[in-house]
Chains A and B, each alone.
Chain A
């Protein structure tokens, strides 16, 4: 059974204070690891897909990395508008059902 654990559950940062969110996973035959951003009262919004260990992707202040056991979402010099819940999901094996983590709630104070 695929498992995804995200840490920390909640993170408070000052504007400009860089940090990382962790997504640890176990899956049989990774087909993709996904990062989404979810604002309160809205549907998740796609950020990145990573497929193999060593892969990295960047978008503005966000950078996602992948190893064989975990993924990190690095946030460089965050701004208050980066406040949201960040979700990690994995797809593996022959399943068409992605497994989501419970998310990390990020608050960036001005």
Chain B
């Protein structure tokens, strides 16, 4: 089954404790991206990757890091989380930029 998986699905952490949210896709897609979704603000892109070792900033990259060492994986790293990063996070992949995106199930992060 074609899918995008994320882990963990739910995470509660404290300010400053580094964390990683994993994302994996099994569709051989070139393009992957991370979004955060906040009430009243909609989906905003954090980072995207055109291919292995090629990443670039989205609209809201501050406080986040990403890496793309393998085509199928695109982890999101928060090195020093803060409460304003409490949000619902989605990973997505597509065959090409501006193509139809397949989204993961989401990770709900709470930073206290």
Contact = CB atoms under 8 A, between A and B. Distances in A.
Interface of A: 31-32, 34, 36, 41-46, 49, 87, 89, 91, 96-98, 100-103
Contact of A102 (B40, B50, B56): B40
Contacts of A103: 42
Interface string B34-74: 00000011111100101000001011000000000000000
Contacts of B42: 87, 100-103
Contact of B105 (A42, A97, A102): A42
Q: Which 3 A-B pairs have the closest CB atoms?
A: A43-B103, A91-B98, A100-B43
Contacts of A89: 43
Contacts of A102: 40-42
B101 interface: yes
B98 A44 contact: no
Given A87-B43, A100-B44, A41 B100 contact: no
B43 A96 contact: no
B21 to A, nearest CB: 14
Contacts of B106: 41-43
Interface in B67-112: 90, 92, 97-106
Contacts of B50: 96
A43 B44 contact: no
Contact of B101 (A31, A41, A46, A101): A46
Given A91-B98, A96-B97, A97-B58, A43 B43 contact: no
A87 B92 CA distance: 15
Contacts of A32: 98-99
Given A44-B103, A96-B56, A97-B59, A31 B43 contact: no
B72 to A, nearest CB: 17
A101 B43 CA distance: 8
Contacts of B97: 91, 96
Nearest to B49: A96
